Amino acid sequence: MRASTLSLKAATAALILASAANGQEIPPDFTISSDTQLLAAYGTPPDVTVVEPGVLLDFAIPRPTPPALGLAAIPSGTTGPYMIVMTDPDAPSPQNRSSSEILHWIQLDVALTVNLSPSGSGAAAFPYVLANTSAPLVPYAPPGPPAGSDPHRYIFFLWEQPEGFALPEGYTQFNATNRRLFNVSGFAAAAGLPEPLAANYFLCERPDNATATATATSSGVAGATSAAGSATTSSPAQFTGGAVGLSVGGAGVLGVVGALAAALL
């Protein structure tokens, strides 16, 4: 490997680690921001992994189902419903973002529920839990970074859903089989969305001996093809949030997940 390539990979890793250490929630190359953390956890008790901003997750953790999501407090002035967007801005690699962003998930009609007895770990410990009330507009696709790539950032965005919301002009082509070249900042502007209410993100890379549940290519989505943007993933699991000990509350939250500093190109 050439020295210049090694230097760039080292610079990327250093920036990622520095951003995580400083608790950054939004990458500097994004024009949208949020200073409220969207609570997220993968798995079910006792095997629960809480997503802290910038954490590097094992490749097997964020699959095949979406995480449980929640909030520490009800955002003022919101009544719901809410919408969740998840993207990967580092496809096919942090040094070459020619396929970015990859759209991993759009979930509309998300309600906020009050956890009457927070305890334990994961969604059971969230003071407020987000749960869908309809099928996803774009189903959840687990991370599928290509082998050899530096860790990708996977960012969750949560907004309050405008009344009568539909995909804005220029974004109607995105669906379960077309996820490449999404632009979350442009999407938010075209949809007239304000700054997100909360956010979170994690890092994930593919170990040399790992295989995805579906073949992953440079698009960064398991089962997607970089040439045509088509997907062959099996039906993604529904996002249901946490359901134990909950009652429906009167407000909801949307968030933007912060990401780490990007490599200098």
CB atoms near residue 58 (< 10 Å): 12
- Tens of pLDDT, residue by residue over 129-170, are 999 999 999 999 999 999 999 999 999 999 999 999 999 999
- Location of structure tokens 């964020």: 62
**What average pLDDT does the chain have?**
76
* pLDDT at residue 40, as a whole number: 96
Tell me whether residue 188 is in a domain.
yes
Do 114 and 246 contact (CB within 8 A), yes or no?
yes
The amino acid occupying position 57 is L
Residues 6 or more apart whose CB falls under 8 angstroms from that of 141 comprise 104, 105, 176, 179, 221, 222, 223, 224, 231, 233, 236
d(CA 122, CA 119): 9
Would you give the distance in Å from CA 23 to the centre of its chain? 17
Do 26 and 87 contact (CB within 8 A), yes or no?
no
- Tens of pLDDT, residue by residue over 209-264, are 665 443 333 344 543 322 223 333 333 344 565 433 322 222 222 222 233 222 22
Q: Which structural domain range is residue 55 located in?
A: 3-248
* Rounded average pLDDT over 65-92: 94
Share of the chain above pLDDT 90, in %: 57
Nearest to 122, CA basis, from 46, 199, 36: 46
Q: Is 52 helix (H, G, I), strand (E, B) or coil?
A: coil
Tell me whether residue 135 is in a domain.
yes
Tell me whether residue 20 is in a domain.
yes
d(CA 81, CA 72): 17
Tell me whether residue 260 is in a domain.
no
Half-sphere exposure of 110 (CA within 13 A, CB side): 34
Specify the CATH number for the domain of residue 232: 3.90.280.10
* pLDDT at residue 249, as a whole number: 28
Tell me whether residue 79 is in a domain.
yes
- Tens of pLDDT, residue by residue over 116-136, are 988 888 888 999 999 999 999
Tell me whether residue 115 is in a domain.
yes
Q: Into how many domains does the chain fold? A: 1
* Rounded average pLDDT over 62-79: 92
CB atoms near residue 264 (< 10 Å): 9
* pLDDT at residue 119, as a whole number: 86
Ordered DSSP codes for 151-163? PEEEEEEEEEPPT
